[in-house]
A = this chain, B = another copy of it.
């Protein structure tokens, strides 16, 4: 059967790349709204062409596209993906325009090529291959949930799942991405950090003032610097009282899984041109740091940023932050603690103008789905399967896994480290796309039997 899968994908790879190119050429920036509705329709069309029954569900931000196809077995595997992408800026750092996909040197370059349109299309190819290898019938039921708000924190997805438990009934899920790391080693994450993303804003003057009055008029820029400096010390410790209260430390099992993972220090150092890591971490300590929650500045806006000089005191300043949270931190609790901290420090005039969150998530390494993914990965990649106890990023896994009571694994084009995810020149390697389809088709084949 697997050889039939491989023959099908070998013969049809070019067609799937072309379909991926068409999908990536459609902008779908959830932060600005650019092209998201058109992209949702395109995704629905891709599913319908495969005979999926589809729903485009409104009321949870950008439409959620759901597709369901019956299989020989009643067991159903859910694929979570998203059709929205990160903003493409800064545009000048792209070697080819972000929404004009280009294949060069065995890679496909585009905003969304990796995150998450290439991943989605590898699954579509896998579905087609599994069906072709089984006489036109899927070996198990397949359920796609393709949302459009992932890159802005999936604010509506938890409510969406709660409202559609019947429609979403299934026996396991494959999350949006993952499957191999930058060295081509297969594996899955067993946990993801949560996130609290906030925007802080402060205004000290009714309008910008001439900087010749800086001895008397209060500056919003300086106030924001004080606010930010109050949030974290120079050793990266977050200073919000109670921030670490509910942190569950890494267990011995977690540490053992971490120890078995390959070392990515040199790779990271080279890939990001890093002179020194945070807190001068290295070796096992660097790996272990994923169990630390973080406080990151996404961006700061204050005053004049054009060329040359402008002698103004900024009246307004804002900062976008994200906190990555570990089990059992609760983002709604951290938001309250942030507000309390600001008030206690005298920053009652600093407003939290926006807040989104996701909960942290853990899963068991013992589930048969993990074993199935491991066996089939070994077949495709010829390498042992890695179990990653915690991943640095966030995703709304908890929103599905909780209410649906299902195990969730990663399988896909890669972990993204080498793919410039969220950055200029985002890309996938075509070989990774091909292998992801081969792996996922095998999981579809085996899922009925576990």
Residues of B within 8 A of A123 (CB): none
How far, in whole Å, are A203 and B301 apart by their CA atoms in the complex?
Answer: 17
Binary CB contact string for chain A from 389 to 409 against chain B (1 if under 8 A, 0 otherwise): 001111000000000000000
Q: By the criterion CB–CB under 8 Å, are A221 and B276 in contact?
A: no
Residues of B within 8 A of A210 (CB): 392-393, 416, 421-423
CB contact list, A208-231 vs B, under 8 A: 208-219, 221-222, 224-226, 228-229
Q: By the criterion CB–CB under 8 Å, are A300 and B300 in contact?
A: yes
Smallest Cβ distance from A194 to chain B, in angstroms?
A: 11
Binary CB contact string for chain A from 87 to 105 against chain B (1 if under 8 A, 0 otherwise): 1010001000000000000
Which partner residue on chain B sits nearest A395 by CB separation?
B212
Contact stretch, chosen from A18-26, A52-60, A165-173, A267-275: A267-275
Q: By the criterion CB–CB under 8 Å, are A296 and B320 in contact?
A: no
Q: By the criterion CB–CB under 8 Å, are B422 and A312 in contact?
A: yes
Which partner residue on chain B sits nearest A218 by CB separation?
B278
Assuming A31-B308, A277-B218, A310-B87, is B211 touching A298 (CB within 8 A)? yes
Which partner residue on chain B sits nearest A215 by CB separation?
B289
How far, in whole Å, are A416 and B209 apart by their CA atoms in the complex?
Answer: 11
Interface check A387, CB cutoff 8 A: no
CB contact list, A97-118 vs B, under 8 A: none
Smallest Cβ distance from A383 to chain B, in angstroms?
A: 24
Interface check A156, CB cutoff 8 A: no
Smallest Cβ distance from A297 to chain B, in angstroms?
A: 4
Q: By the criterion CB–CB under 8 Å, are B298 and A300 in contact?
A: no
Assuming A309-B322, A310-B87, A423-B207, is B277 touching A216 (CB within 8 A)? yes
Which partner residue on chain B sits nearest A303 by CB separation?
B299
Which partner residue on chain B sits nearest A226 by CB separation?
B234
Interface check A313, CB cutoff 8 A: yes
How far, in whole Å, are A349 and B286 apart by their CA atoms in the complex?
Answer: 23
Interface check A375, CB cutoff 8 A: no
CB contact list, A277-311 vs B, under 8 A: 277-278, 281, 286, 289-290, 292, 294-311
Assuming A197-B309, A298-B303, is B292 touching A215 (CB within 8 A)? yes
CB contact list, A401-450 vs B, under 8 A: 416, 420-424
Interface check A329, CB cutoff 8 A: no
How far, in whole Å, are A298 and B214 apart by their CA atoms in the complex?
Answer: 10
Which partner residue on chain B sits nearest A227 by CB separation?
B225
Smallest Cβ distance from A344 to chain B, in angstroms?
A: 15
Q: By the criterion CB–CB under 8 Å, are B294 and A305 in contact?
A: no
Q: By the criterion CB–CB under 8 Å, are A152 and B309 in contact?
A: yes
Residues of B within 8 A of A226 (CB): 229, 234
Binary CB contact string for chain A from 318 to 338 against chain B (1 if under 8 A, 0 otherwise): 001010100000000000000
Interface check A86, CB cutoff 8 A: yes
Q: By the criterion CB–CB under 8 Å, are A215 and B278 in contact?
A: yes
Assuming A232-B222, A303-B299, A356-B309, is B208 touching A422 (CB within 8 A)? yes
- Interface centre among A212, A234, A278, A306, by most chain B C-beta atoms within 10 angstroms, is A212
Interface check A76, CB cutoff 8 A: no
Given contacts A205-B274, A210-B416, A211-B298, 6 further A-B contacts (CB under 8 A): A216-B277, A221-B299, A299-B310, A309-B320, A309-B356, A312-B423
8 A-B contacts (beta carbon < 8 Å) = A31-B308, A151-B309, A152-B309, A210-B421, A216-B392, A217-B268, A222-B228, A300-B301
